[in-house]
């Protein structure tokens, strides 16, 4: 079977027939010929790409290339159902979809917005970026008088809360356009010192530029210019971008009921390219992803290299999203097996080795070291002297959390909020661990929320630690500022999601009301400084879009808590059974600690 489709085939970095150029082509439109399903029946419903222009008004001819052997994709809206329950499951899903639509309409039509929300919506709409006449994203910050740096670009991670706000308001076009256009930018021709990023990489950000048209005087065309980190500080590839893209793609499908987007062949290829990049073999011994420093929200040197929690939590979540979305065909079966295997290993590894609470810290305190055997208890040779003095006093009797990073002979005991929150949302933690993380945050309210939610990490680095770990970065020299323990209001929507998932919306409500008192007066800053977030960040941007959108998303989620399900996942017993089984049945099971099954599951 051959499908004509306007996407890159595997093994090619740009669409066939498209001239080599520095930028992504302008105003693209997809075109897919009807495919046939396994029974040979043409199924137009599945071929969403055939459904006209990418966005209204875009009418340019689209480059057509051939992708061979891709079976028509299967609508995947249900997780693992037995055939006899299939009809029931379909009905349940349809009912859920109807309910979602009803809520979105209610949000769009009936809400009486308080003034602060009205202002936030106005600012969010002002931040919208158009490309060829259609909305495709939001700029990072919209302060015309300030030096733009790269804040005039659409950042993938920054757009996610904007997308949530728009989706919950029923404005879906911008999200659809964003997903499709960023897909077109995936791993484009960009290099740092003659070296190109891996295929499948999504850019950190993109900018719409007007450039003179080849050979036509006085005429300009709009192009999308992606940045894969080659212009960013530190020149680090944004590992989180592709993971966010997958997470947003699933959310879009769940809320709109428009699964045709994720079924498109080009979108399916996009998902697979990201997964191939993440799942490719390397030298690593752990199921966690090995990354360079600054490859996520914390995008400068902060000691978040190796296996930082933030990346692992987003990775886990993206794998679970992909499992729902990947079309099952001959080409994807082994990929799906790899996804399942990785999910199992990842959840075991994180639940077991990243978790700390009073009991576990006491265990580490009494660790034997230098154990060579496969039955070692202290598997990573952690010297108990590493337990920082702040932790000894700080860790409450009730509550625990996932540490920031785990490497040979090194545990980074700092608490990183984004990673912990996504671990709850995606069920990377056990239900008990999820409870305990929220208990800790509640218990240490002043440290995490204080005068503005939410601390990016706790505690801040100081003195020699700051010098050695950050390489003396002056922007984070002050403790409790920016990435070094500053407070970032955008994290509020992710806290809200986790609280709703755990049935504790009142915690989120309390945090939102703290934010609501200040954000508008303070002109929606990017971040706050000091231990309890009393001051607007020293070099903080004002009118930061993800601050605005994060606030709106939190409000809308709290009003419609059922909508949190577009991002959340429940515990998957099958994955956990795999985990417990490999511990007991694996020929080299002894190399793992004897973890009782109950510990993996609870």
- As measured in angstroms, the least distance from the Cβ of 551 to ligand GLC is 15
- As measured in angstroms, the least distance from the Cβ of 352 to ligand GLC is 29
Residue whose tokens read 């947003």: 248
Which range binds ligand GLC by CB under 6 A, 45-53, 153-161, 194-202, 314-322? 153-161
The CA-based dihedral angle spanning residues 499, 422, 360, 579, taken in that order and rounded to the nearest 10 degrees: 120
For ligand GLC (CB under 6 A), the number of binding residues is 6
- As measured in angstroms, the least distance from the Cβ of 297 to ligand GLC is 4
Q: Which is nearer to ligand GLC, 294 or 400 (CB)?
A: 294
Q: Which is nearer to ligand GLC, 62 or 546 (CB)?
A: 546
Among residues 29, 46, 157, 254, which is the contact residue for ligand GLC, using CB under 6 A? 157
- As measured in angstroms, the least distance from the Cβ of 300 to ligand GLC is 7
Which range binds ligand GLC by CB under 6 A, 38-46, 89-97, 154-162, 192-200? 154-162
Q: Is 153 in a helix, a strand, or coil?
A: coil
CA 282 – CA 291 distance, rounded (Å): 12
Distances (CA, A) of 496 to 492, 513, 543, 554: 6, 12, 21, 6
- As measured in angstroms, the least distance from the Cβ of 318 to ligand GLC is 18
Which range binds ligand GLC by CB under 6 A, 155-163, 337-345, 363-371, 423-431? 155-163
CA 552 – CA 554 distance, rounded (Å): 5
- As measured in angstroms, the least distance from the Cβ of 422 to ligand GLC is 15
- As measured in angstroms, the least distance from the Cβ of 206 to ligand GLC is 12
Among residues 62, 155, 353, 567, which is the contact residue for ligand GLC, using CB under 6 A? 155
Cβ-contact 495, 453 below 8 angstroms:
yes
Among residues 297, 339, 423, 600, which is the contact residue for ligand GLC, using CB under 6 A? 297
Choose among 459, 479, 561: nearest CA to 512.
Answer: 561
- The helix (run of H) or strand (run of E) holding residue 445 is helix 445-448
Q: Does 293 sit near ligand GLC (CB under 6 A)?
A: no
Q: Which residues pair with 291 in a beta bridge?
A: 306
Q: Which parts of 352-464 are beta strand (E)? A: 355-357, 400-407, 410-416, 457-458
CA 240 – CA 179 distance, rounded (Å): 15
Residue whose tokens read 């049935």: 503
CA 508 – CA 518 distance, rounded (Å): 16
What is the per-residue binding string for ligand GLC in 241-280, x denoting contact by CB under 6 A?
Answer: ----------------------------------------
Q: Which is nearer to ligand GLC, 315 or 488 (CB)?
A: 488
Q: Does 158 sit near ligand GLC (CB under 6 A)?
A: yes
Q: Which is nearer to ligand GLC, 230 or 299 (CB)?
A: 299
490: which 2 tokens?
Answer: 């955008």
The CB density around residue 531, as the number of other CB atoms within 10 Å, is 17
Minimal CB distance to ligand GLC: which residue?
140
- Cα radius of gyration (the chain): 24
Residue whose tokens read 């700390």: 356
CA 31 – CA 3 distance, rounded (Å): 10
Q: Does 140 sit near ligand GLC (CB under 6 A)?
A: yes
Q: Which is nearer to ligand GLC, 158 or 522 (CB)?
A: 158
Which range binds ligand GLC by CB under 6 A, 130-138, 151-159, 463-471, 576-584? 151-159
CA 309 – CA 240 distance, rounded (Å): 12
Q: Does 493 sit near ligand GLC (CB under 6 A)?
A: no
- As measured in angstroms, the least distance from the Cβ of 497 to ligand GLC is 18
Cβ-contact 31, 47 below 8 angstroms:
no
Q: Which of residues 201-230 bind ligand GLC (CB under 6 A)?
A: none
- List contacts with ligand GLC (CB under 6 A): 140, 155, 157-158, 297, 299
């Amino acid at each position: 079977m051959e499908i004509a489709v306007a996407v890159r085939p595997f093994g090619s970095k740009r669409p066939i027939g498209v001239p080599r150029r520095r930028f992504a082509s302008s105003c693209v439109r997809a075109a897919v010929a009807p495919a046939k399903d396994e029974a040979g029946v043409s199924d137009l419903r599945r071929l969403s790409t055939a459904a006209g222009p990418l966005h209204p008004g875009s009418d340019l001819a689209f480059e057509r290339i051939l992708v061979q052997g891709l079976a028509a994709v299967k609508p995947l809206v249900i997780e693992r159902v037995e055939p006899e329950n299939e009809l029931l499951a379909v009905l349940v899903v349809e009912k859920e979809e109807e309910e979602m639509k009803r809520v979105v309409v209610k949000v769009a039509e009936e809400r009486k917005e308080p003034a602060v929300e009205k202002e936030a919506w106005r600012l969010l709409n002002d931040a919208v970026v158009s490309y060829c006449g259609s909305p495709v994203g939001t700029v990072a910050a919209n302060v015309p008088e300030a030096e733009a740096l790269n804040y005039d670009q659409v950042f993938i991670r920054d757009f996610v809360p904007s997308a949530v706000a728009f989706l919950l308001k029923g404005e879906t076009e911008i999200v659809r356009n964003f997903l499709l256009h960023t897909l077109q930018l995936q791993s484009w021709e960009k290099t740092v010192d003659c070296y190109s990023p891996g295929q499948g990489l999504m850019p950190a950000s993109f900018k719409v530029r007007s450039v003179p048209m080849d050979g036509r005087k006085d005429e300009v065309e709009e192009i999308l210019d992606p940045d894969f980190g080659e212009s960013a500080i530190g020149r680090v590839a944004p590992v989180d971008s592709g993971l966010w893209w997958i997470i947003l793609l699933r959310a879009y499908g769940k809320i709109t009921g428009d699964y045709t987007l994720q079924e498109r062949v080009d979108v399916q290829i996009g998902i697979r390219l990201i997964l191939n990049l993440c799942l490719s073999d390397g030298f690593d011994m752990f199921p966690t992803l090995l990354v360079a420093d600054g490859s996520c929200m914390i995008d400068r040197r902060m000691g978040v290299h190796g296996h930082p929690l933030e990346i692992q939590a987003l990775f886990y979540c993206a794998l679970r999203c992909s499992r729902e979305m990947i079309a099952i065909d001959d080409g994807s079966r082994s990929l799906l097996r790899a996804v399942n295997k990785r999910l199992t290993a990842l959840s075991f590894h994180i639940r077991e080795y990243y978790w700390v609470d009073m009991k576990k810290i006491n265990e580490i305190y009494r660790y034997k070291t230098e154990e060579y055997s496969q039955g070692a208890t202290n598997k990573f040779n952690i010297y108990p002297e590493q337990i920082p003095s702040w932790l000894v006093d700080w860790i409450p009797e009730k509550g625990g959390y996932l540490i920031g990073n785990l490497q040979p002979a090194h545990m980074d005991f700092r608490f990183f909020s984004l990673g912990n929150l996504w671990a709850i949302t995606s069920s990377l933690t056990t239900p008990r661990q999820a409870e305990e993380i929220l208990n800790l945050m509640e218990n240490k309210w002043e440290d995490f929320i204080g005068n503005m939610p939410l601390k990016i990490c706790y505690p801040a680095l100081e003195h020699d630690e700051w010098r050695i770990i950050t390489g003396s970065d002056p922007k984070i020299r002050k403790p409790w500022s920016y990435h070094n323990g500053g407070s970032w209001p955008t994290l509020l929507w992710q806290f809200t999601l986790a609280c709703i998932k755990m049935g504790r919306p009142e915690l989120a409500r309390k945090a939102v009301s703290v934010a609501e008192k200040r954000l508008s007066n303070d002109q929606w800053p990017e971040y706050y400084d000091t231990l309890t977030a009393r001051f607007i960040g020293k070099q903080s941007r004002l009118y930061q879009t993800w601050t605005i959108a994060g606030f709106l998303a939190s409000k809308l989620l709290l009003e419609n808590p059922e909508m949190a399900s577009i991002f959340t996942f429940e515990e998957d017993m099958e994955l956990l059974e795999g985990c417990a089984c490999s511990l007991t049945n694996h020929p080299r099971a002894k190399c793992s600690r004897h973890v009782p099954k109950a510990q993996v599951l609870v």
